[in-house]
A and B are shown apart, each in its own frame.
Chain A
Amino acid sequence: MPAYRSTVLLCAGGGCISCGCLPVREAMEAELKRRNLADEVRVVQTGCVGSCDLGPVLIVYPDEVFYQKVSPGDVPKLVDEHFLKGRVFERLLVKSAETDNLIATQREFAFFNKQVKIVLENCGVIDPENIEEYVARGGYLALGQVISERTPEWVIEELKKSGLRGRGGAGFPAGTKWDFVRKAPGERKYVVCNADEGDPGAFMDRSVLEGDPHRVLEAMAIAGFAASADQGYIYVRAEYPLAIRRTRRAIQQAREAGFLGRNLFESSFSFDIDIRVGAGAFVCGEETALLASIEGKRGIPRPRPPFPAVSGLWGKPTLINNVETYACIVPIITRGGDWYASIGTEKSKGTKVFALAGKIRNTGLVEVPMGTTLREIVYDIGGGVPNGRKFKAAQTGGPSGGCIPAEHLDIPMDYESLAKVGSIVGSGGLIIMDEDSCMVDVAKFFMEFCTDESCGKCPPCRVGTRQIYGLLDKITKGEARIEDLHLLEELCGMVKESSLCGLGQTAPNPVLSTLRYFRDEYLEHIVDRRCPAKVCPSLIRYSIDEAACTGCSLCARNCPENTIFKVEDQKKYRIDPARCVKCGVCFDVCRFGAVVKS
């Protein structure tokens, strides 16, 4: 391989691809060729860098200069400035949230320098479609060493020492689970990777598969060695075509290199992996439903026990972990369980990847040690809430989780602390809400999701979630009475207690936790018939402040229902409240702040 003066890492995660990074790559390569720089500067397409709101993103090594929102048209100027004149091209740099200063390098950018990357250490750094780059970073050495020099017991011992807990949501100790499968009687055993990431807003598993697929393959092979299984399956949803393509390619390359297949590292151990593509039902992230789906049956859960560790795929002992859990395995094997256990908190070890979204300046994937406070994530890494608004709450754990109000901003983000305030780490979705978010509306959103995704097997979930949704809908329409609030609480308790699987058992969580912290907001909807955040359409009305109205007629021209009319003999406009559909267009278009929401 020739030595390059400089390397351009181009983020080709799903987010960046959808905002057009591939044309940027083409433009970059063409421009480098035109300037005779193609032998000096190499362009590498990587997995997700994490800062998805800034895409397309380029990082130029060795200086680690971070360019954001690059368009193909910017490329000639960028090449000219950076590679020919040796200057940073300032127009495409990120601005610091606090100081407005330009940030030149990735490590000056608080979004990156406060993170600790273990799971995502290769994402955004290597080319996921080239096994050579993974090998260069020590890839498959852990597998080789484990097979050649260690025993399965040693692997499980290290894993137990590490304190790693499953990252799929429940947080079950990984070492214990591996040990169960190892000790379960049976000739044939399986290793399964759950990549059926379904929580709205969570996309860490997709990013790992897109950005560093070999890391998951290597970990699954180690799991196969530890549990004496010879076949692995990755169950991934069809909505993740790029992850599927890159993982397939990785499997192919690993087979060719002899990291998957028969007699690995000249031992008697054989292991291979296949992909199973799911149709994207949320319930298939539940392990028993997932296993049914792999077997080719309808993806519905069944009661446990027996747990998959005893009777899983085709009734055989099956080790099932999610992508992020597997992504922690290789570092634990290479650097030792003690090292991993030294990161994080007493009971929650290691790091966790959160998908930061909502009302926050920097969105994207962030990896932090367990126990990092919510405040650090929101303000130091996320850059705070934009537009001068105030932080109201954060929703963790998606539709199975709960919200954390501002008074708990200093909560350490780990399994125990989140459980204490009625939420969960879950798969790591983290949605930030500001004063403009209505908590009843948020709860309704998640309940609608659960209603849609309920598989229908057990009545508490199938019927209960629909009833809960109906009540929330009544509340947001201002049609509910105070008794409905009690009924809502009772229903939530019933669904939680009696549902068959995790989907139903956790579905009421967003309602229960918003009720716990924002009960007043529910009461305002019910008693005062108003939505304090001014979100619920039935409870707000638009009007025009005649003192501020300049009579420009912009609102009237944009109103889809023609409900805005001119006041006779005056240059003022007025809204007919009886016919207003509350679409909010007038509010958005008015340049004088004369349209008032109340």
Chain B
Amino acid sequence: MKLSELQEWRERAARGISVRGEQKDWRIVVSMGTSGIAAGAREVMRALMDEIERQELENVEVALTGSLGMDDVEPVLRVERAGETIVYGNLDPDAARRIVTEHIRQGRKVERYVIGLPKEKE
């Protein structure tokens, strides 16, 4: 066996043992600018990842971005799926967990934290 063959085998095998959901079609973008961080964005991010891991969701991609320009409602994140974008604000770790469970898993928006689309300021 060559090292490269082992690596290929490993990838095939890894697909076998992971418990997979649908296609990876969700994307969550967390605003991680100064005001977001000060308002608790890191803890929100952490809760988000813990929940994704706990529920073994493999179809979610999470990204960080600098400020989304909505400093008054930080922490803020954006959930994107097939062209549709929902922005949530005034979050805390609990809200982040709810977004994973209700929005991503069950397909229901968490109305309480929805704040609409960011205004384009350019």
Q: Determine whether A and B are in direct contact in the complex, meaning some CB atoms lie less than 8 angstroms apart.
A: yes
Q: A residues near B, CB below 8 A? A: 1, 3-7, 61-64, 105, 107, 126, 132-133, 135-141, 144-145, 148, 257-259, 264-266
- Give per-residue flags for B33-50: 1 if the beta carbon is below 8 A from chain A beta carbons, else 0: 000000000000000000
Q: Is B59 an interface residue (CB 8 A)?
A: no
* Residues of A close to B55: CB separation below 8 A: 62-63
* Residues of A close to B13: CB separation below 8 A: 1, 132-133, 135-136
Check A1–B2 contact: CB distance below 8 A.
Answer: no
Q: How many A-B residue pairs have CB under 8 A?
A: 58
> Count the B residues whose beta carbon is within 8 Å of the partner chain — how many?
17
Determine how close the nearest CB of chain B comes to the CB of A256; give it in whole angstroms.
10
Q: Is B1 an interface residue (CB 8 A)?
A: yes
* Residues of B close to A257: CB separation below 8 A: 1
Check A141–B6 contact: CB distance below 8 A.
Answer: yes
Q: A107-B54, A257-B1, A258-B1 are in contact. Are A141 and B7 (CB under 8 A)?
A: yes
* Residues of A close to B82: CB separation below 8 A: none
Check A136–B3 contact: CB distance below 8 A.
Answer: no
Check B10–A138 contact: CB distance below 8 A.
Answer: yes
* Residues of B close to A1: CB separation below 8 A: 13, 15-17
Q: A136-B14, A265-B1 are in contact. Are A61 and B56 (CB under 8 A)?
A: yes
A-B contacts, 11 of them at CB < 8 A, read A1-B17, A3-B20, A61-B19, A105-B54, A126-B17, A132-B16, A137-B17, A141-B3, A141-B10, A259-B1, A265-B3
Check B54–A64 contact: CB distance below 8 A.
Answer: yes
Distance between Cα atoms of A107 and B2 in the complex (Å): 38
Distance between Cα atoms of A136 and B13 in the complex (Å): 5
Closest to B13 in A: A136
Distance between Cα atoms of A4 and B2 in the complex (Å): 30
Check B56–A62 contact: CB distance below 8 A.
Answer: yes
Determine how close the nearest CB of chain A comes to the CB of B60; give it in whole angstroms.
13
Closest to B17 in A: A136
Check A145–B16 contact: CB distance below 8 A.
Answer: no
Q: A61-B56, A136-B10, A136-B14 are in contact. Are A6 and B19 (CB under 8 A)?
A: yes
Q: A1-B15, A6-B19, A62-B19 are in contact. Are A266 and B2 (CB under 8 A)?
A: yes
- 6 interchain residue pairs of minimum CB distance: A62-B56, A1-B16, A136-B13, A258-B1, A144-B3, A136-B14
Q: A135-B13, A265-B3 are in contact. Are A7 and B19 (CB under 8 A)?
A: yes
Interface residues of B in 61-106 (CB under 8 A from A): none
* Residues of B close to A144: CB separation below 8 A: 1, 3, 6
Determine how close the nearest CB of chain A comes to the CB of B15; give it in whole angstroms.
7
Q: Give chain A's interface secondary structure class.
A: mixed
Determine how close the nearest CB of chain A comes to the CB of B59; give it in whole angstroms.
12
* Residues of B close to A63: CB separation below 8 A: 54-55
Determine how close the nearest CB of chain A comes to the CB of B18; give it in whole angstroms.
8
* Residues of A close to B20: CB separation below 8 A: 3
Q: A144-B3, A148-B3, A266-B2 are in contact. Are A135 and B19 (CB under 8 A)?
A: no
Distance between Cα atoms of A266 and B1 in the complex (Å): 7
* Residues of B close to A265: CB separation below 8 A: 1-3, 6
Distance between Cα atoms of A265 and B9 in the complex (Å): 14
Check A5–B2 contact: CB distance below 8 A.
Answer: no
Distance between Cα atoms of A403 and B1 in the complex (Å): 50
Distance between Cα atoms of A146 and B28 in the complex (Å): 38
Check A5–B19 contact: CB distance below 8 A.
Answer: yes
* Residues of B close to A105: CB separation below 8 A: 54
Determine how close the nearest CB of chain A comes to the CB of B8; give it in whole angstroms.
10
Distance between Cα atoms of A7 and B56 in the complex (Å): 12
* Residues of B close to A258: CB separation below 8 A: 1
Distance between Cα atoms of A445 and B100 in the complex (Å): 55
Distance between Cα atoms of A64 and B53 in the complex (Å): 11
* Residues of A close to B54: CB separation below 8 A: 63-64, 105, 107
Distance between Cα atoms of A259 and B6 in the complex (Å): 10
* Residues of B close to A145: CB separation below 8 A: 3
Closest to B11 in A: A136
Check B2–A135 contact: CB distance below 8 A.
Answer: no
Please tell me which one of the listed residues A4, A132, A266 contacts residue B19 in the complex, with CB atoms under 8 A apart. Answer: A4
Check B6–A135 contact: CB distance below 8 A.
Answer: yes
* Residues of A close to B1: CB separation below 8 A: 144, 257-259, 264-266
Distance between Cα atoms of A133 and B10 in the complex (Å): 9
Determine how close the nearest CB of chain B comes to the CB of A211; give it in whole angstroms.
15
Distance between Cα atoms of A258 and B9 in the complex (Å): 13
Closest to B19 in A: A62
Closest to A126 in B: B17
Determine how close the nearest CB of chain B comes to the CB of A582; give it in whole angstroms.
54
Q: A62-B55, A62-B56, A64-B54 are in contact. Are A133 and B7 (CB under 8 A)?
A: no
Determine how close the nearest CB of chain A comes to the CB of B105; give it in whole angstroms.
11
Check A140–B16 contact: CB distance below 8 A.
Answer: no
Distance between Cα atoms of A6 and B9 in the complex (Å): 23
Distance between Cα atoms of A137 and B13 in the complex (Å): 8
Determine how close the nearest CB of chain A comes to the CB of B39; give it in whole angstroms.
27
Closest to B2 in A: A266
Q: A62-B55, A107-B54 are in contact. Are A133 and B3 (CB under 8 A)?
A: no
Most-contacted residue by chain A among B13, B14, B54 (CB, 10 A)? B13
Distance between Cα atoms of A64 and B51 in the complex (Å): 12
Determine how close the nearest CB of chain A comes to the CB of B82; give it in whole angstroms.
22
- Give per-residue flags for B101-121: 1 if the beta carbon is below 8 A from chain A beta carbons, else 0: 000000000000000000000
Distance between Cα atoms of A487 and B61 in the complex (Å): 72
Determine how close the nearest CB of chain A comes to the CB of B14; give it in whole angstroms.
4
Determine how close the nearest CB of chain A comes to the CB of B16; give it in whole angstroms.
3
Closest to A139 in B: B10
Distance between Cα atoms of A490 and B55 in the complex (Å): 62
Determine how close the nearest CB of chain B comes to the CB of A147; give it in whole angstroms.
8
Distance between Cα atoms of A61 and B6 in the complex (Å): 27
Determine how close the nearest CB of chain A comes to the CB of B98; give it in whole angstroms.
17
* Residues of B close to A140: CB separation below 8 A: 6
